[in-house]
Amino acid sequence: MKYILQKSDPKISYLIAKELRRQEEGMELIPSENYASPAVLEALGSVFTNKYSEGYPGRRYYGGQENVDAIENLALSRAKKLFGAEHCNVQPLSGAPANLAVYSALLKPGDTVLGMDLSCGGHLTHGHPVTLPAKIYHFERYKTEEDGKIDYEKLRKIAKKVKPKILLAGFSSYTRKINYGAFKKIAQEVGAISLFDMAHVAGLVAGKAYPNPIAYFDIVTTTTHKSLRGPRGGMILCKKEFAQAIDKAVFPGLQGGPHENNIASKAVAFGEALLPSFRVYAKQVIVNAKILEKEFKKRKYHLVFGGTDSHMLLIDIVKSRGLTGKQAQDILDEVGITLNKNVIPYDLRGPMDPSGIRLGTPAITTRGMKEGEMKMIVEYIDRAFLASEKPRELKSIRKDVRDLCKQFPVYKKSK
C-alpha cells in the first residue's frame, strides 16, 4: 500500500518524503506544532474519508452511519472523560471555526466580546479587525501591564464599562498562567458568558500538568493538535445549558458534513492522552520549557512576561541580540531550527517583521528530548545568532542540529 502514491503521483510522493526528512533532520520549536503518532495518522488516512455524515450520532441525514456514529461517540466519550466536560462537540474543523461557532451560537450581530489583545498574547480569532467575527460582532480588548501581568481589577473595570456578552480568556503567545477564578468572578459580576480558548495548553491540561479550566468557564474551545498531539482540528466543551445552541451553530449553522476521518483520528489522540504515559509527557513539556527559560536568562536574553509557566517562551530578540523577529527566524531556518517570529506587547514593529520570536517544547519533547538537550538547543540558537554572517559556522551548527535530531527519530523504523 505504501508504494501506491509513489507510482501514481511521484511528485506528491517526493514532496511528502522531503517534508518527512525535513521534520526528521530539523528541530521543531513552533509551540503550536507537534508530531502525531502513526496511529493518529493511520486513522486520519482511513476509509472514513469516503463517508458523508451530516448531523450528529443517531440523527444523520444520510444512511449507512452505524460505524460513523460509533466512532464519533467514542471521540465524545473520551474527550469528556479527558477534560471532565458536561458536553462536547468534536465536529469543528479547527480552532477558528470552533470560536466562530461559539460566537454564532450566543451572540447577535453587534454584541460585545471582551478578549485579550493580540499583541499581548491573544489570538486573531479573539477579535482582530482583519477577521470575519470582528466584522459581525463588537470586540473590546484588554492588555497586559508592561511587566506582562494581567491587572484583574483593571479588567473588571473594563468589563463593567463595556458590558460584554462574552468574557474571553485564552492566548496564543501569553506564557503565564491566568487566574481562572478571577475571570469567573468578573463574568458573573457583569452577567457575561465566560469562554476560555485553551488551544495551546489542551495537552498540558489533559496530562494534568496545567490547571483545568472546565470548572471555571461556561465554554472551553480548543484545537486538537498542538500540545494534545492529535490531528489538526477543533473541539468545543461546554456546560449542558449551552449544548443545544452550540451544536446547532456548528451544524447546520456553519458546517455541512463533518470530516469523520478527522474525528476518528481525534478519538485515537484522546485515547492516547488518557494513558499514564501522556501525563509523563505533559510534565516533561513544562520541565523542558523551564530549562529553556533558565538557559536563555543565563545568556541575558530578554524574556517577555519574565519567563513561562507553560510550554512556550516569547523573546524580545531586538533587545536580546539586535535582530528582528524575521531575521532571527530566517537565521535559524538555515541551521534547521524552526520557530516563528511574533509580536510582543506594545511592539513598535509590524507583524510581518516584529520584535519577538516564539518557541516551545511540545514537539521536541515528543521526540524524547529532555533537560540535557534543552541546554544544547539554546547553545545552538545563540551560536547561530552570533554567527549570522558566517556561512561556515552556520553550516557547522546545521550539522550539530542534524546529528542531535538523528538520536531522537520522529518515527522509529519498524523492524
* 176 is a catalytic site residue: no
Query: Are residues 316 and 175 in contact, defined by beta-carbon separation less than 8 angstroms?
Result: no
Options 28, 72, 117, 197, the catalytic residue: 197
Query: Are residues 314 and 344 in contact, defined by beta-carbon separation less than 8 angstroms?
Result: yes
* 223 is a catalytic site residue: yes
* 54 is a catalytic site residue: yes
Residue 356 CA to residue 316 CA, distance in Å, equals: 4
Options 24, 52, 151, 402, the catalytic residue: 52
Residue 253 CA to residue 122 CA, distance in Å, equals: 26
DSSP secondary structure letters along 59-101: EESSS--HHHHHHHHHHHHHHHHHHT-SEEE---SSHHHHHHH
Residue in 225, 245, 204 with CA at minimum distance from that of residue 83: 204
Query: Are residues 299 and 293 in contact, defined by beta-carbon separation less than 8 angstroms?
Result: no
Residue 176 CA to residue 344 CA, distance in Å, equals: 14
Residue in 200, 243, 208, 242 with CA at minimum distance from that of residue 224: 200
Residue 90 CA to residue 140 CA, distance in Å, equals: 28
Residue 297 CA to residue 294 CA, distance in Å, equals: 5
* 232 is a catalytic site residue: yes
Query: Are residues 266 and 90 in contact, defined by beta-carbon separation less than 8 angstroms?
Result: yes
Distance from the Cα of residue 76 to its chain's centroid: 20
Options 223, 308, 365, 366, the catalytic residue: 223
How many Cβ atoms are within 10 Å of 378's Cβ, its own excluded? 20
Options 51, 226, 266, 358, the catalytic residue: 226
Helix intervals (H) in 251-361: 260-273, 276-298, 317-321, 325-334
Residue 331 CA to residue 335 CA, distance in Å, equals: 7
Residue 338 CA to residue 28 CA, distance in Å, equals: 5
Amino acid identity at 224: T
What percent of the residues of the chain are helix, what percent strand, and what percent coil, each to the nearest 5? Answer: 50, 15, 35
Options 24, 54, 69, 379, the catalytic residue: 54
Q: Residue with C-alpha cell 486520519?
A: 44
How many Cβ atoms are within 10 Å of 178's Cβ, its own excluded? 20
Options 80, 81, 156, 232, the catalytic residue: 232
Q: Which residues are catalytic?
A: 52, 54, 197, 223, 226, 232
